[in-house]
Amino acid sequence: MSRENGAGVGEGGGGAPEPEQLALIRESVRKAKVPRAKPRTWRGAALAKELPVARVLVDKGVLHLDRYFDYAVPEELDEAAQPGVRVRVRFGAGSRNVREGRREGGGLIDGFIVERRAETEYTGPLAALAQVVSPEPVLGAELLDLARAVADRYAGSLADVLQLAVPPRHARAESRAAVPPPAPPAPPGAGSWRRYAHGEEFLSALASGASPRAVWTALPGPQWAEEIARAVRATLASGRGALVVVPTGRPAARVDAALTELLGEGQHALLTADAGQERRYREWLSVRRGEVRAVVGTRAAMFAPVRDLGLVVVWDDGDANHSDDRAPFPHVREVLELRATRDRCGFLLGGWSCTVEAAQLVESGWAAPLVADREQVRGAAPLVRTVGDGDLARDEAARAARLPTLAWRAVREGLRHGPVLVQVPRRGYVPRLACERCREPARCRGCAGPLEAQDSGAALRCGWCGVEEGAWHCGECGGFRLRAQVVGARRTAEELGRAFPAVPVRTSGREQVLDTVPGTPALVVSTPGAEPVADGGYAAALLLDGWAMLGRPDLRAGEDALRRWIGAAALVRSQNAGGTVVVVAEATLRPVQALVRWDPVGHAVRELGERAELGFPPVSRMAAVSGRPEALAEFLAAAELPPDAVVLGPVPVREAAPGPSRRPGAAPPGEQWERVLIRVPPGSGAALAAALKVAQAARMARGAKGTREGPAEAVRIRVDPLDIG
């Protein structure tokens, strides 16, 4: 990039300059010394006597500016302009204007000082820092290195990652006086960790200063929050810090209450989005200053600057809320894995269910399993019964009211002893096609992607590679007929409510999410993930319209359905206490059988084996690239992908409804987009991310309009997307 395209400042030495010049610049730096100039500004203003150059990361989330820029430090800002502080700088004027002595152009934008230096590699005059916004050093070296690693992994810009990692400033929060950190607590007792094989050993290792890594399959019931709190206290007892990340504010509140009970008031920080800007920034500052060393929070807390980090915990890593919906779309699990490796700290991935990624961590030996024996599982889990399609066909009550007789009986019996939970799929589930005879999902013969029906009776088309399939037949049973399950979850819930007119009906879902309900008889109708906790547990639960979740055209449909079912069933009383769960889904399907046996780990291991055979994530790495057809074709032609990359597609991208809830992979309303999937084998993920990042940076440098908001002209990149159906 010519210096005329700069921002009124000299080129910095950090980060990557123009992408297409990477190899040339590295070679020239290796062979020859870059001439250094004495720092000066075009006005000749007095500069700091020592280290008069500030290397600044400007808040520009575009890849071709993903580097540092050198600015002169005026003498009056010398004391405040320390590494890590927020500053404002002038950005946007060509350095030719500066050299000619004209008035500096460009607007003031925010940035961070990352380093103070004695010299600059730029030979011209430097623009001076305009303002030190705050003397509070919010960007430490460890957080900067972590953000850079995350940006590289997800083919994004460092500025975008720091937008997620560092909360907005609030002056009143900074004015609060610092307090000394609390003394380390005594190691806790094992408590309910005794229910797990090696549970006590895990706590002892944390308390002794060791860094164990474990994938924890929690037993059903409410004890999981208290168990996390005990792991945190054991880590604090060793003099180190702990970080817990949960998907939403409701589980964060439960862990917060457990930590308060175990540690006392003011011994940990709660970082959630709904806390308000001032409180969230105040809590974050208390962590950065070392006033507290225990943190629980939602997604953005994965970057919390905990001192002497000894343990990172992620709960329910399969929840979509763990994946950020802003570029570069980092996932909590991957970021905390990265932190555990870089900081050599303990790692605990927990949940009632088990994702395929968690199973891979165990199979690779990176983490150890932390599970209860079958006797403990049988004692804690409810009784699970199934109602398949054959049962529904023979059941007169089911045909009349879309609810099988077994479910009626379970509800009637459960209401005698307490509340009954009814889980219904949320609106928006789009079922995939499956064999009418054996219910095996219809997949492409080329890439094994999901087949989709087209309009006007045209041939089936693969949702991944776009290839049409005109002569499909089932590979399992040889059948030629397909079906797409159409569900009416709302109507089913209404019918259930009419059947018990004397029983109160409570709903929890998009409009209103309940946190808890009393232990008195009631029907609680909830969408997946919004189930409230009942005092004393639910007496029974109905999991209705299972095909609505199992039939989604997504690689994770079975895994996600099992996770949501187990999440609801874990709130039901144990079988010994009379708890019963009825799931309305074909009993022979693998996720249903895993629920009946309460064996999420076995299901994840088998899924991992199948994905390994087919080359699917997480065994492989994958990126989704989407945009307008012409922009996407131009991007793919310019990208120097790894030689072992496989490109699937392009295929049309479904247009999403307007609003903030739009999925990151969906096309903007009114736009016709296409998407390709790029798959590489293990070991090539970093090369794929680097190639995509270089191609995107080069495209933006040539003038393509790409911003954080992602307008129609942009090409959108998502590495390791959650939904690739």
How many helices and strands (H and E) does the chain possess? Answer: 22, 30
Known binding residue 345? Answer is no
User: Who contacts 619 (Cβ-Cβ below 8 Å, separation ≥6)?
Assistant: 360, 608, 611, 612, 682
CB 184 within 8 A of CB 242: no
Which helix (H) or strand (E) element contains residue 297?
strand 294-297
Known binding residue 462? Answer is yes
**Kind of pairing between the strands at 383-387 and 523-526:** unpaired
Strands of the sheet with 621-627, listed across from one edge: 646-652, 674-680, 621-627, 715-719
Q: CA separation (Å) from 320 to 165, 422, 529, 592?
A: 19, 22, 10, 21
Quote the CA–CA distance of 563 and 543 in Å, as a whole number.
Answer: 12
Known binding residue 447? Answer is yes
655: amino acid identity, one letter: E
Task: Report the candidate in 611, 608, 672, 676 with the shortest Cα–Cα distance to residue 645.
Answer: 676
Q: CA separation (Å) from 587 to 386, 549, 567?
A: 6, 15, 19
Task: Report the candidate in 123, 216, 151 with the shortest Cα–Cα distance to residue 600.
Answer: 216
Q: Write the DSSP symbol of residue 226.
A: H
Return the ∠ at Cα 174 (arms to 168 and 177), rounded to 5°: 155
Residues belonging to the chain? 725
Known binding residue 354? Answer is no
Q: Write the DSSP symbol of residue 655.
A: B
Quote the CA–CA distance of 274 and 417 in Å, as a whole number.
Answer: 36
Task: Report the candidate in 260, 238, 243, 216 with the shortest Cα–Cα distance to residue 297.
Answer: 243
Cα 664 from chain centre? 12
Quote the CA–CA distance of 432 and 326 in Å, as a whole number.
Answer: 28
The alpha-helical segments, DSSP class H, found in 619-666 are: 629-638
Cα 337 from chain centre? 12
Quote the CA–CA distance of 577 and 536 in Å, as a whole number.
Answer: 10
Which helix (H) or strand (E) element contains residue 29?
helix 22-31
Mind spelling out the 3-state secondary structure of 358-399? HHHHHHCCCCEEECCCHHHHHHHCCEEEEECHHHHHHCHHHH
Quote the CA–CA distance of 189 and 564 in Å, as a whole number.
Answer: 31
Cα 542 from chain centre? 29
Quote the CA–CA distance of 499 and 409 in Å, as a whole number.
Answer: 12
Binding residues for Zn(2+): 435, 438, 444, 447, 462, 465, 474, 477
Residue list for the binding site: 435, 438, 444, 447, 462, 465, 474, 477
